[in-house]
Amino acid sequence: MSRDPLRRALPLLELSPRRVLYAVAAGVATLGSALALAALSAWLITRAWQMPPVLDLTVAVVAVRALGISRGLFRYLERLATHDAALRGTVSARANLYRRLATGDPAAPAGLRRGDLLARTGSDIDALGDVVIRALVPIAVALVLSGAAVVGLALISPAAAGVLAVALLVSGVLAPMLSARASRMAETAGAEATARYAATSVLALDHAAELRVAGRLDGVVTRAGGYDAEAVRATDRAAAPSAFAAAATPLAIGATVLGALLIGIVAYGPDGGSPGGMTPMALGILVLLPLSAFEATSSLPAAAIALTRGRVAAARVMDLLDRSGDHVPFGTTDLRAPVHLTASELWCGWDGSAVSGPFDLDLVSGLRTAVVGPSGAGKSTLLMTLAGLLPPAAGTVQANGTDLPGVDQHALRREVGYFAEDAHLFDTSLLENLRVARGDLDEGDAAAVLDTVGLGEWVASLPRGLHTTLEAGGRSISGGQRRRILLARALVSPARVLLLDEPTEHLDARSGERVLRALLDRAGGLVDPDRTIVVVTHHLPPGTSADRVVEVDGGRYQVDTESDEVETKR
């Protein structure tokens, strides 16, 4: 297996050889038209200077017009073909990535910050698509056209062809190497800073209210600014080799034109094109043809940058896939309602971090449970373990008497739903954001559940109602509205066991208490009485009807029920 992450990641694109070859052929036709146009124009200018009969120039004039038109036409076709191949590739890459993540270790994506996960599935996959558009096709076109230009010039003057070949190597090899070095310096040094900046920015945007109350918002914003400045400094350090790369091609063009001109003048001879010497038309071609030849190599520094960025992005994507591993085998035991979850001597935690427990929980159908504790106590980790997204550090979790690894994964995801506090809202309509949880949701049910969570008036005020697009992935709405939409998504899901992580964050105190009471009360009207509810919250309001309260704090847990005495374990 290749160690190059880009070679490992490119198969994710599932590129069609036919489409790529079509794009390369269109690119060759584009620059081939430019090369032929330069040669024919040089011949036409010098031949017209000799004032021959007009009919002698008719074919050349028509050919110049045809080549000028075909160049633009083939450029358009090349853009269509290249972007078609790249866009199809990014769609396939994302589908393959999501498929691998869905069937692999669930802890792999769950262990990343949302900003980092979005970057790896979003901009990093786009960078792989850019490799097709900006690197693979331009490199192939440049190789074909550079060879054609050198061979064509060699028919007139082998010496001039040698000069052109050396200059093309400078423009097509040295300049891209310098560009790649500059990009590598910027990307390698700045990639981690950029990822940290994205994660810290998302943290500040999503949890600004809590951070401000805790007095930590300014520190988080300052830290994000520091990461951004670090990425900018990495870019500045890469400016020197980038400048040399930008100057290499113009210098190579100038040297080639001067060299070809001197060789042509010497070959033209003192007799001005006498027999055995170079004709004026050949001299014109000798000087003008190299100018078009460099059009093929001028895009190679950008190709080198795209390759470097693609390699960095590929490393991050493959790291995610390597964490996920190959297909994780699940059992075949079906899971039907009512669902009975039990945890026995359960310890929860991430690899290399502190664990909390042991927990003994018996979540029968319809039970209402509240998990309370400070940040970092392990509440979300407990929910993820109960949902089968995180393996237990010790102990077991069973659904209807079967250990979770033995349950069919589709049945488990259908019947047991974990709804994270930072779940993503997509840049699509409000209705489609709810259909993420249930694809057959109709508009009537969607409107009803949004009204139930307190968004009825807001939805009625939207310009297109349920079909209004949540622009920028929900950044255009308030934190409270976002939280209510996520709660509505949980309520419309088919899951019989709802594991809700901080469903009332960003709501005002009175509204949050009202929602928590409704969730934990079988008669609250918010959730069907036979659905099992486990709610994580920092503060449990008085007067709730929770059947069980689990207090988690620093590896300890305490279970309080209406009929049992408080029990403390370590």
Is 179 a domain residue? yes
The per-residue pLDDT for range 425-442, each reduced to its tens digit, is: 888 899 999 999 998 999
Q: 55 vs 45, 51, 60, 62, 63, CA distance in Å?
A: 15, 11, 10, 11, 14
pLDDT, average across residues 306-327: 84
pLDDT above 90 (res 297): no
Q: Are 367 and 549 a contacting pair, CB within 8 Å?
A: no
What does the pLDDT read at residue 328? Answer: 64
**How many domains does one find in the chain?**
2
Residue 297 is part of a domain; what is its CATH number? 1.20.1560.10
Residue type, 26: A
Tokens of residue 249, six digits: 């091609």
pLDDT above 60 (res 532): yes
- Domain C-terminal end among 278, 294, 324: 324
pTM: 0.66
Other C-beta atoms closer than 10 Å to the C-beta of 153 total 25
Give the C-alpha separation, 378 to 353, whole Å.
11
Each residue of 2-26: b (16+ CB within 10 Å) or e? eeebbebbbebbebeeebbebbbbb
Residue 486 is part of a domain; what is its CATH number? 3.40.50.300
Q: Order of strands across the sheet with 567-569?
A: 416-419, 497-501, 532-537, 368-372, 548-553, 556-561, 567-569
Q: Are 470 and 425 a contacting pair, CB within 8 Å?
A: yes
Is 414 a domain residue? yes
Domain with 348 in it: 341-569
Is 550 a domain residue? yes
pLDDT, average across residues 508-526: 85
In DSSP terms, 186 is beta-bridged to none
pLDDT above 60 (res 563): no
Instruction: Return the higher-pLDDT residue of 508 and 129.
Output: 129
The per-residue pLDDT for range 460-481, each reduced to its tens digit, is: 998 888 999 887 655 668 888 8
Considering the domain architecture, whether residues 365 and 498 belong to the same structural domain is answered as: yes
pLDDT above 80 (res 47): yes
Tokens of residue 103, six digits: 């069937």
At how many degrees (to 10) do helices 137-154 and 280-297 cross?
A: 160
Considering the domain architecture, whether residues 351 and 204 belong to the same structural domain is answered as: no
Q: 512 vs 350, 447, 488, 504, CA distance in Å?
A: 30, 21, 14, 5
- Domain C-terminal end among 292, 324, 356: 324
Is 336 a domain residue? no
What does the pLDDT read at residue 193? Answer: 72
The per-residue pLDDT for range 317-368, each reduced to its tens digit, is: 888 888 777 666 677 888 887 889 999 988 888 776 667 778 888 999 889 9
Q: Name the pLDDT band for 1 (thresholds 50, 70, 90).
A: low
The per-residue pLDDT for range 219-240, each reduced to its tens digit, is: 888 888 888 887 777 777 666 6
Considering the domain architecture, whether residues 155 and 295 belong to the same structural domain is answered as: yes
Q: What percent of the chain has pLDDT over 90?
A: 19
CA-based R_g, the chain, Å: 33
Give the C-alpha separation, 560 to 374, whole Å.
17
- Strand 532-537 versus strand 368-372 pairing type: parallel
Is 330 a domain residue? no
Is 169 a domain residue? yes
DSSP state of 242: H
- Domain C-terminal end among 277, 293, 324: 324
Considering the domain architecture, whether residues 244 and 376 belong to the same structural domain is answered as: no
Is 270 a domain residue? yes
Q: Name the pLDDT band for 492 (thresholds 50, 70, 90).
A: very high
Is 333 a domain residue? no
Considering the domain architecture, whether residues 415 and 440 belong to the same structural domain is answered as: yes
User: Phi and psi dihedrals of 532, rounded to 5?
Assistant: -85, 130
Considering the domain architecture, whether residues 508 and 556 belong to the same structural domain is answered as: yes
Considering the domain architecture, whether residues 299 and 435 belong to the same structural domain is answered as: no
The SS3 assignment for 495 reads: coil
Considering the domain architecture, whether residues 300 and 376 belong to the same structural domain is answered as: no
pLDDT above 80 (res 139): yes
Considering the domain architecture, whether residues 347 and 312 belong to the same structural domain is answered as: no
* Location of structure tokens 């929910």: 383
The per-residue pLDDT for range 68-113, each reduced to its tens digit, is: 899 889 999 999 999 999 999 999 999 988 888 877 777 777 667 6
Considering the domain architecture, whether residues 298 and 423 belong to the same structural domain is answered as: no
What does the pLDDT read at residue 224? Answer: 85
pLDDT above 60 (res 562): no
pLDDT above 60 (res 166): yes
Q: Name the pLDDT band for 500 (thresholds 50, 70, 90).
A: very high
Query: 165, 159, 170, 166: which is closest to 146 by C-alpha?
Result: 165
Provide the H-helix boundaries in 207-357. 208-213, 217-237, 239-268, 280-297, 300-324
Considering the domain architecture, whether residues 299 and 351 belong to the same structural domain is answered as: no
The per-residue pLDDT for range 178-202, each reduced to its tens digit, is: 877 776 666 666 666 777 787 788 7
User: Phi and psi dihedrals of 128, rounded to 5?
Assistant: -65, -40
Residue type, 380: S
Considering the domain architecture, whether residues 286 and 372 belong to the same structural domain is answered as: no
pLDDT above 50 (res 570): no
pLDDT above 80 (res 521): yes
